Structure 1
Amino acid sequence: MSTSSSIESALRFRADRLQNIRVTHDGTIARRTNTSFFTRGLVFTNRPIRINEKVTFKLMELSEGLGGFVYVGFTSRDPDNLQGVTCQHLAKGSGFWSWFFPKELCGTRSTLFYYIGEGGEVHYGVDGVEKGLFEGVVRTNQSLWPLFDIFGNSSGVRLIEAESRETRPKARANRKLVPMMLHETHSRNVRIDKNVAQRLDAKYTQGYIFSKQPIKSEQSIVIQIAPNGRGRFQGFVHLGVTSCDPALLNRDDLPDNVNSLVDRPEYWVLICDFSNLNCGDEIGLDLAHDGPITFHLNGGKFKGVVHVDATLKLYLFVNVYGSCQDVHLSTCAEQSKVEEKECVVCYDNVIEAALYRCGHTCMCFECAVEQWQGKGDGHCPLCRAVIRDVIRINK
C-alpha cells in the first residue's frame, strides 16, 4: 500500500456476478437480491485502497426486528479469484480481516467510514467523527481491497464520498481573513512562509505545523486547502491543540503516527482527521470561552465538537499529510476579537501605525511598512485596500 498522490478512479463496488448481490447506480449501491438469505452478501470494491483513504458508506433499507448489520474489512487476495466465496470461506485462509461495524452507530441516516492508518491500524467513525479502532492491525505491504458482507437487517450499502462537495458555499464578499502566523518550529517534510505551509513533494508524513501564538477564546480559525490550486485530489489533514509551546519542541520529537502525540507528557487533543479534501476546501474551527471547539467543512452543516481545557494556553497544530500539498491558516477578523494593542502580523509589538487611505490601525510601524513596501504586497491585511502611505501614531 502507499499514500500516492496520483488521482485514481472513484471507489465503487465490483459489478461481478455475485451469488446474492446486485450492483447498481454506477457501482455505488450493492443490494442483497434475496433478503430471505441473511448471509451471502459479500461484495468487494473495484480497486485496492490507499493508506488513510476512507471507505465511506451508508446502510439502506434496514429491516425491523432482525438481528445483524454489516461486516466490513479488507482482503489481500485479488477479488478476480474469489468468485462465489463467502466471509466464512475467506476467514479460513490468510490475507483476510473483517469486523462487525458497531451496531449502535448504524442507521440509515448515519454516514459511516473506516480506513487503514499508516501503522496498519483500522479506524472507524460516523458522520465525520472518529469513534475508535478495530481490533488488530492489517499488513500494509500489499494491495488491500475493501469488502462488505451485507447480512441480517441490512439489505444494501451505498458508497459515498467522504465529504459532499455540493454544500461548498460561495465565499462571503464581506468576510475579512487575517493571516494566522505559523511558528518557526515544524517537522522536516514541510516548509512554511508566514501563514502558509507546503508539504515537500513525495513526502507523505511529518508535516506538522503550529500556530505562532496560542489560540484565543471566541476565535474563529479558517484553514484553506490549496486555495490557489485546481482540480481534485485526495488531501488529508489532522487537526489538534496542545499546551506544548512549539519553541520547546525538537522536530525529531514529532512522531510519524499522529496518534502517538497523546502519549507525550504535555496536553494534546486530536480534534479531527479530514480526508478526501479538494482544492479550495475550507475547514472552520471555533473556540468557545468555556472550552468546546466546533469544527466544520466548507461552512456547511455542523460536523462535530471537541471539549478541551480552556484554562490552558493552547496552540493549534496541523499535520499536512497524504497528498495534500499546501494549507493557508487565517482568522476571521469580524469574529476573532483581535486585541486592540496587538499587531496582527507579528503579535509581539503594540499597534502604532495607521494605513492611508483605508484608515485601519492594526499593525506596529515596522510591520506596516513591510506590508506596504515589502512582502505584504501593498494591501491592508484586514480589508485588502491598497496602502498609499503609513502614518506613525501614538495610542
Structure 2
Amino acid sequence: MGSIFSQETEYPKSKMTLEPLCFHSEAKGKQILLSDCYSKAERMSTFLDGIVFTNRPVKPYEIITLRILKTEDRWIGGLRVGFTCLNPSNVNPCSLPPFICPDLIHQSPTWAAVVPDRFIKTGDFVHFWVNNSGEVFLKTNEEKKFLICDGVTMDFPVWAVIDVYGTTKAVELLAPGGNPFSLGLLTEISMDEPYDFSFCLPKEECLVCWCHTRNTRLLPCGHTILCYCCANRIFSDTATCPMCRCEIKKFHIQNKSPHRISPDNLLHQ
C-alpha cells in the first residue's frame, strides 16, 4: 500500500477551487453507502470500514460542517475527523484500512482525532477546520473551539477525511451556511482567539475508542494500544492488531494474568 498512500505532488495549490463540497464518490470504506448527491454517508454494518474523504482539497480556515444523522449505542467511541495529503482520486478503495486512528495515520500523511462523545448525538452539528499553522480545531453548537490535533503539513493540498465509526452511524456534509450557526463561525475563526485546552486529547487513550485508558496488551505482537472493551470487539470482528495487523490470539490486562480469548469470555456491551 506504500505506493497507493504516497504524498500527492500533482495537485498544485494554485489549481484549488471552491467547487461545492461533498464526499468523494469512489474513495470510501467498504461499509459506506453514499447518497445520490454524495452529501450523506452511512455505515451499513459493524463498527469500522467507514472512512470517507471530501471530493476536493480544502483551504485553511475553510469550515467542514457535518450533521449527525444516525447513531447506535452498542459501540464505544464514535466519529473521527481530520485532514490528509492523500488525493482520494489516487486511492484504491480496496486498500483503505478499517480505521483512520491509528491505521491511516500510520500509513500516510494523515492527521485526525476522535470527536468527544457528547458532541455526536443525533441532530448535532460538528464544525472543524485547519489553520495556516496546521492546527486542527473543532467546534459544536455554543461550545468554545478546541484543538484536536496539530502538525498538518500545509505545504501540500489537504483533503478532509472522516471516519463514520462506532456509535456514529450516518453523517451529512453540509454546504457553507447550511446551518445558521456556521454563518457566525465564519467570522469568528478568522480571529486569533484563545481556545479551550481542556479538550485536547491525552496521549494514553485507547487508539480505537479514545475514551478509555490503554490497559490491554495484545499477544503475540505485544502492542498495548487498546482498552479491554475494544480488544474484545476487535477480536470478535477481525482478530487483528490495529497497529501491525498481526493475528490476536491472547490478551493481557495490565496487573492481571494473561488468558486466552474465546467466544465464551468475550464482553458484549
- Quickly name the TM-score band, shorter chain normalised: 0.5 to 0.7
Match of 2:77 in 1: 68
Aligned-residue offset at 1:127: 2.3
Distance 1:157 1:96, change over 3 A: same
- Cα deviation, 1:39-86, whole Å, max 9, x if unaligned, reads 111111100111110000012221134212111111101112322212
Q: What CA distance in whole angstroms lies between the structure 1 residues aligned with 2:119 and 2:136?
A: 16
For normalisation by structure 1, the TM-score amounts to: 0.40
1:139 to 136, 139, 153: 153
1:56 aligns with 2:6: no
| % identity of equivalent residues | 22
- Cα deviation, 1:17-48, whole Å, max 9, x if unaligned, reads 74111111411101112x2x211111111001
Aligned-residue offset at 1:132: 0.5
Residue ranges of structure 1 left out of the alignment (5+ in a row)? 168-224, 226-234, 240-256, 263-395
Distance 1:236 1:156, change over 3 A: closer
Alignment of 1:163-178 (within 5 A): 163-164=177-178
2:22 to 12, 30, 34: 12
- Cα deviation, 1:322-372, whole Å, max 9, x if unaligned, reads xxxxxxxxxxxxxxxxxxxxxxxxxxxxxxxxxxxxxxxxxxxxxxxxxxx
Q: What CA distance in whole angstroms lies between the structure 1 residues aligned with 2:180 and 2:128?
A: 22
Q: What CA distance in whole angstroms lies between the structure 2 residues aligned with 1:17 and 1:111?
A: 24
Match of 2:39 in 1: 28
Q: What CA distance in whole angstroms lies between the structure 2 residues aligned with 1:45 and 1:22?
A: 15
Aligned-residue offset at 1:92: 2.3
Q: What CA distance in whole angstroms lies between the structure 1 residues aligned with 2:39 and 2:84?
A: 20
Larger CA Rg, structure 1 vs 2 = 1
Alignment of 1:158-307 (within 5 A): 158-164=172-178, 236-238=186-188, 258-259=191-192
Distance 1:148 1:99, change over 3 A: same
Distance 1:166 1:98, change over 3 A: closer
**Conserved 8 A contact 1:3-1:51:** no
Q: What CA distance in whole angstroms lies between the structure 1 residues aligned with 2:31 and 2:173?
A: 18
- Cα deviation, 1:195-231, whole Å, max 9, x if unaligned, reads xxxxxxxxxxxxxxxxxxxxxxxxxxxxxx9xxxxxx
Q: What CA distance in whole angstroms lies between the structure 2 residues aligned with 1:80 and 1:22?
A: 18
Distance 1:2 1:106, change over 3 A: farther
For normalisation by structure 2, the TM-score amounts to: 0.57
- Cα deviation, 1:102-126, whole Å, max 9, x if unaligned, reads 1111111211110011221111001
Superposed CA RMSD: 3.2
Match of 1:116 in 2: 130
Q: What CA distance in whole angstroms lies between the structure 1 residues aligned with 2:13 and 2:191?
A: 15
Alignment of 1:356-367 (within 5 A): none
Residue ranges of structure 2 left out of the alignment (5+ in a row)? 1-10, 195-269
**Which protein has the bigger helix share?**
2
Structure 1 segments (4+ residues) deviating >4 Å: 1-4
Distance 1:57 1:166, change over 3 A: closer
Aligned-residue offset at 1:162: 4.0
Q: What CA distance in whole angstroms lies between the structure 2 residues aligned with 1:145 and 1:66?
A: 27
**Conserved 8 A contact 2:120-2:168:** no
